Amino acid sequence: MVVVAQRLDEKGIPQVDHRAVVGLAIPLILSASIQALMGITDTWFIGQISSQALAGMNAAWLPTLVALGPFINLGRAVQTLVAQTYAAGDPKGASGHAWSGVGVGLALFPLCGLLSMLGSLLYAGLPLPEGVSEQASAYWQIRVWGGSALLGTFSLSGFFNGIGRTWVTLCVSGCSVLLNGVLNALFIFGFGWGIGGAAWGTILSEYVELSLYLLVFLSGWIHRGYASRHSWHLGWAPLAATWRVRPLLKLGLPIWIYSLADMSSFTLFQLMIGQVGAVEGATAHICLMLSRFAYLPAIGLEQSATVLVGQAIGSGQLAWAKRLGNAVMGWALGYMAVIGGTLALLGQPLIGLFVSEVDANAASIIRLGGLLLKIIGVSFLFDGINFAALGSLRGAGDVRVPMMIMLGMSWLVFLPLSQMMIFPSGQGWLPFLPGLGWGAVGGWLATLIYVAGLGSLMVSRWRSGIWQKTSL
C-alpha cells in the first residue's frame, strides 16, 4: 500500500506532510505557468501586428479550445486512472492506461481535418467587426490540427504525474514552450505568416512535445519499473483496448462535457464582449491571457489534488484522501489571494506590455484593462476554491455531478446574466432580457458572480463525502 503525503507527529498521529504535497505540486505549478507562456507568447507576438489581429485572436482562441476539448479532456482522465492503478500496486496497468490515451489520439486524427474545414463556416456567420473574422478563421484552421498531439501529451504527462514524477512534466513542457517562442518569431516575422504563423508554431511545438514524452516513457528507467515497452498491447489490442477505453471514456467524457460547458459559455461571453467594440475585444483577450497565466499555478494545485486523492483512494485510504484534498484547498486559496491582489494593483502596467505604443487604441485598452483586472482579482478567491475541490473530486472519479453543476451554472446563470449586464435592454443576443448596458465591466462582474456560485457548489460536493462511494 502506498502511503501518500503522510508523516507522524511526536505522538505518532498521522499528519499531512505538506512538504511532500508542495514537492509534488511545485513542478506542476511551474509546468502550468510555463504552458501559459505559450498563450502569452502568441498574444505578445500578435499584439505587435495590430489590434485587429489581437481582436481576431480573441475571437479564435477560446473557440479552438472548445474544439480541442475532446482531445484535452480524454487525456486528463488518464491521470486519475494512473494514480489509482499505480497506488493499487499495478505499475504495468498504469502504463497501459497511458498507451490507451495515445492510441485514441492517433485514431481521432481525421477529426482534426474535419474541424479545420469547419472554421471558415463558423466565422462567416458570426457578427464580428470587419477584418476580425478573417483573422480568427486563419488561426482556427491551422490550430485544430494539434488535437491528436494534445491527447497524447496529456495522456503521457498524466502518467508521469500519476506516478509522482511531476518533474518530467516540467522539463518536457518547458522545452515545448521554448520551441514555441522560437517558431513564433520565425513564422510571424521571419516568414511573414501573421496570425497563422502563431498557430503553426504552437502545433509544431506540441508534436515535438509528444515525441519527447514518448522518448522518456520508453526509456529503460521507466520500462524497468512500469513495463512501458510491453504494455502497449494493454491499450491497443482489441479486447484489452475495449476494457481500457471504457474507464477512460467514463471519466473523460464528463470531464469533456464540463470543460465544453465552461469553455463554450465563456467563448460566447468573449464574443459578446467583442461585439461591443474592437477595444473591448482586444482588452478582454489580454485580460484573459494574463489571468490564465496567473491562475494556472492553481491548475497545477488542482492536478496535485487529483494525484494525491487518486493515490490515497487507490491504496484504500478514503479518510486520508479527504484530508489531502482539504490541504491542497488551503494552498490554492492562499495562492489565489496573493496573485489576485497583485493583478488588481499592477493592472494597467501589465496591460501596457501587450499593446503597441503607436496603436491609436492603446490608452483606451490600458485604462479599461486596469479596471477589469481588479474585478478578476476578486474572482480569483472563488476560483481557488473551485479548482482544488474539482481536482479532488476528479481524483476520486466523481465527475458526473460536477458536470451537471457546470452545465446549469454556465448556461442557465452565467450567459443570461452576462447578456443583461453587458448590453442595454433590447440589444445583444437575447434582446428580450432586461439590460444594464455596462459593457465589458458588466460582463466581468457577471463572471465574478458566476465563479462565486460555482466554487460554493463544488466545495459543498467535496465536503459532503458522497464521492467516497464512487467506483471506476
> Per-residue pLDDT for 119 more than 50?
yes
Kindly give, in sequence order, each residue whose CB lies less than 8 Å from that of residue 239, ignoring residues fewer than 6 positions away.
none
pLDDT for 472 equals: 65
Across residues 93-99, what is the average pLDDT? 90
pLDDT for 240 equals: 47
pLDDT in tens, 124-173: 777 677 777 777 888 888 999 999 999 999 999 999 999 989 999 999 99
Burial class of residue 238 in the structure, from the number of CB atoms within 10 Å of its CB (0-12 exposed, 13-18 middle, 19+ buried): exposed
- The two beta strands, 14-16 and 6-8, are antiparallel
* Cβ atoms within 10 Å of 346's Cβ, excluding its own: 14
* Cβ atoms within 10 Å of 257's Cβ, excluding its own: 20
Residue 217 in 3-state DSSP?
A: helix
For the entire predicted model, the pTM comes to 0.81
pLDDT in tens, 240-257: 455 567 788 888 889 989
Which of 73, 51, 93, 56 has its CA nearest to residue 225? 93
What gap in Å lies between CA 65 and CA 76, rounded to an integer?
14
pLDDT for 469 equals: 83
pLDDT grade, residue 1 (50/70/90)?
A: low
Across residues 264-282, what is the average pLDDT? 79
